[in-house]
Structure 1
Amino acid sequence: MRMFANVTDTRRAGPWSEQRREGRYPARIVARLVRRGQTIELLTNDVSFRGVFIRTDSPPTLRQLVKFELLLPSNVVVSGHAMVVHVAARPDDQPKGEGAVPGIGLQFWGPLTNAKDWEQFVHQLKVRERAGMATAKATDKVRRASERFKLALEVVLDGKTSMTRDVSENGMAIRTDLALPVGARARVEMRTGHGEAASFDVVVRRTIDESGFRGLGVELAALDPTQRAALLDFLRRNAPDDEEPLFIDVDDPELH
């Protein structure tokens, strides 16, 4: 099939930049992949009208079909299926920097939800690039959009008591059977065993149905910098001592 004509692996072939036939534009947005029933949250490195390059140091195999979600800066979720058409691995002796980003190139396969929003997003990046405006930094680290802590905290969501699986300064995964639709707004009260409590407005961004976990992924809404810093301090105080969160620069203005 034509899809496989441009399948590449930089462990055997040249850089993907030599393979590109369409414009690709630097952008950091959250990308969620479903692999073997597990949802993982990563970041894009660059995007095009027909696909994305996602930063990861644990890539799926070439020609694998994956399910994905892309969270746009407008909070619109673009989802669908894509084929892994490129794998970029960084050898231990390869210097970090431009062209040394490990990850996967995905080509969209089939229809997208909110396809027009995706086209508008990429078009805006194209316009910004022509104007010489930077959209991302090559020095950004590979993994999370923010620190994420594996914390089992008691929360009250929509009047029902539940527990978190993990929490970040941007959102949390909550174990619950509540059938709240994506886009719904709710109030969450978070509690710790030390008597601390905090309340937040949240927006439901995804439903989670994984092995051993069923619940909702929610995003914290309208936090100002002071509130966000207070939440991050709250999470760090309550995180296990051996917790080592992965993060990139949360002050990057182009990070969403």
Structure 2
Amino acid sequence: MPARRRRYDFSSRSAALLRRVSCAPRKDKGFHDCCLREYVTVGPALRKEKEMRRIIVLVVLVAAAHMIAADFLVQENSRIKVQSKVPIKASPFDLQDVRLLDGPFLDAMLRDQKYLLGIDSDRLLHMFRVTAGLPSSARPLGGWEAPDVELRGHSLGHFLSACALMYSSTGDERFKTKADAIVAELGKIQQAMPSRGFHPGYLSAFPEEFFDRVDARRRVWAPYYTIHKIMAGLLDMYLLCGNRQALDVPIGSSSASTV
């Protein structure tokens, strides 16, 4: 018996659904085994539901981020000047107290190490130097770090955090040395920024004009997000690697933001 194809049309105030069902008889089961494909045209009600789901996901992610930050801050760290007023009953293990044994997690960490050590620091710094008017012969990165992408610069912050965490986890000086060198270069770049007309202390891979576009409600891609990632990476370098300059740089940036 040849397969039968049926076409059903459903409609409601919120959506119109077009379902195509291919049915093939299953003699051993006594019923038709169906392969179903749905083509959905979403109406106003479903769009509203979809937006609500996005909001819920965003709230969950923000809450998770706050919990992770809180866990990190409750660790005993002499470099944190403002201590919690609430007695801490539990805190996470320090990364230095945990070592991975042979297995898939250690394999993944070793691959991460190879990747981090293989990244060209000058390519990460390229658009920072260009923005500050400093010479750079490095080949620009692509993707979200491409010279014409407004999100450029955030990956350097992620890289600093990754190196700081890897150093704290393993004690391998190669990660601290590489990240320390980047912090030193960022300090030089920050000092050069005023020569291009930027406020003293400003540091990014894009011009300050991006923030003016935020204030004017003009289209721009997440400058505050990018600055946050850069500062987060520097903060990790201070807290986990003891790099004092990594704290001085964002302090200088905060003075630029108050001008």
Give TM-score, length-normalised by structure 2: 0.21
Computing the radius of gyration from Cα coordinates, the structure with the larger value is 2
More helix as a share of residues = 2
Structure (1 or 2) with the greater strand fraction: 1
The structure, 1 or 2, with the larger RCO (C-alpha pairs under 8 Å, 6+ apart) is 1
